[in-house]
Amino acid sequence: MSRIVQWNELTGRDFARLEPRRAVAVCVLSPMEVHGPHLPVHTDMLEAGALADRMLDKLAGDDAELTFVRTPPLFVATDVVPQRGSLQFRASTVVAVATDLGRSLAAQGFRHIWVMSFHGGPRHFLALEKAATDVSVRYGCRMVSFFSLLLSRLTQGSHELGDVLKGVAGLDRELLKGDTHGGLVETALMLHLDGDRVARDYAELERKTVEMAFAQGTSSLVEPGGSGVGRIAQILRRFVFSRRYFEDNTYSGAPGAGAAETGAAILDVLAEHAAAAARELLAETVPLERCHSPIWPLRHLFLSGTLERALDRVLGFKSAVF
């Protein structure tokens, strides 16, 4: 059975005995961010860590000589909800931190470095992808952003989890439409993971989404599809609408429909998919080029600080936390 150990608990003697080429470094970089009036701000951190742990549990019986080393989590993230309580970092900072972390691990001999997150902000997961790509190319290792890999495999870039979670008993797929932040999925997960910290009145929160808020606009807000200029326009439009929406709202979805049993089932489904991807990574049967999110080709656009500042001026966007 594989070992799962915590980096911060190991001694110098432990590290001297550790064979990095027979180990995987597993790192969490996810935000401290407001999730509605009912969930704690460590929600993304806890979810990313729980997904990593459940995935590793599923992998533990595969290779008795393999060691998984979990580093302490880092709450360095961008694209957070701009409400008091969120902690925001520049995308360039996320790239720099993730790159330095990967570089340090690669220098110590780790070939496999997996970065976990549970945050759908495009600039955040693109920043992690960029860091992973740069480190992999420069140091000859295999550093991967798991959120991006799963986003590509499970939803092809869509925000909808209906098809992925269709086997979860009692889950109303209609309620999953627009459920992107602090809604049914995350409330259910947190009721399972840290239920004592979920506000008891969560069930009274009404369903509201980015799509519902902008349904009265000149055209509907739809999931990005197709290709070329039209798809780019859709992606940018969703990004702009989401920024506007979260200036005044702290969640998107149906938190009142969450339940602890549902959260346990959701976590298990996502961990099964993550474990399947992890096995391919360990066997090195999947090239790193196929580990990117669908919007990777737009990384230069999203990660441009100059463009971000220009867009914020045009929109009149003012963050309350940065």
pLDDT tens for the 322 residues of the chain, in order: 679 999 999 999 999 999 999 999 999 999 999 999 999 999 999 999 999 999 999 999 999 899 999 999 999 999 999 999 999 999 999 999 999 999 999 999 999 999 999 999 999 999 999 999 999 999 999 999 999 999 999 988 777 788 999 989 989 999 999 999 999 999 999 999 999 999 999 999 999 999 898 776 544 444 555 555 566 667 777 778 888 899 999 999 999 999 999 999 999 999 999 999 999 999 999 999 999 999 999 999 899 888 778 767 766 777 788 8
What's the confidence (pLDDT) of residue 219? 47
Q: Is 61 helix (H, G, I), strand (E, B) or coil?
A: coil
Separation CA 196–CA 199 (nearest Å)? 8
Confirm if 114 and 278 have CB atoms less than 8 A apart: yes
135 and 102 Cβ atoms separated by less than 8 Å: yes
Give the pLDDT confidence score for residue 322 in this predicted structure. Answer: 85
Closest of 172, 155, 164, 190 to residue 51, by C-alpha: 190
Alpha carbon distance 186, 47 (integer Å): 8
What's the whole-model pTM score?
A: 0.92
Helix, strand, coil content of the chain in percent (nearest 5): 55, 10, 35
Structure-block tokens of residue 207: 């369903």
What would the two tokens of residue 284 be? 């090195």
Find the length of the chain: 322
Residue environment code for 126-147, b if the CB has 16+ CB neighbours within 10 A, otherwise e: bbbbbbbbbbbeebebbbbbbb
Residues 6+ apart with CB under 8 A from 5: 14, 67, 68, 69, 70
Name the CATH superfamily housing domain 3-315: Creatininase (3.40.50.10310)
What local confidence, expressed as pLDDT, does residue 158 receive? 72
Task: Determine the pLDDT at residue 40.
Answer: 98
Q: What is the predicted pLDDT for the residue at 125?
A: 97
Residue 184 backbone phi and psi in degrees, to 5:
-60, -50
Q: How far apart are CA 270 and CA 248, in angstroms?
A: 30
CA distance 254 to 185: 8
pLDDT at residue 217, as a whole number: 56
β-bridge mates for residue 91, sequence order: none
Cβ atoms of 265 and 193 within 8 Å: the answer is: no
Say what the pLDDT of residue 162 is. 86
- 170: phi > 0 → left, psi -120 to 50 → alpha, else beta; which? left
User: What pLDDT is stored for residue 109 in this prediction?
Assistant: 97
Question: In angstroms, how far is CA 41 from the centroid of its own chain?
Answer: 15
Task: Determine the pLDDT at residue 306.
Answer: 84
* Structure letter (DSSP) for residue 153: I
Q: Name the region of 81 (left: φ>0; alpha: ψ -120 to 50; beta: rest).
A: beta
Token pair of 257 as six digits: 């429909």
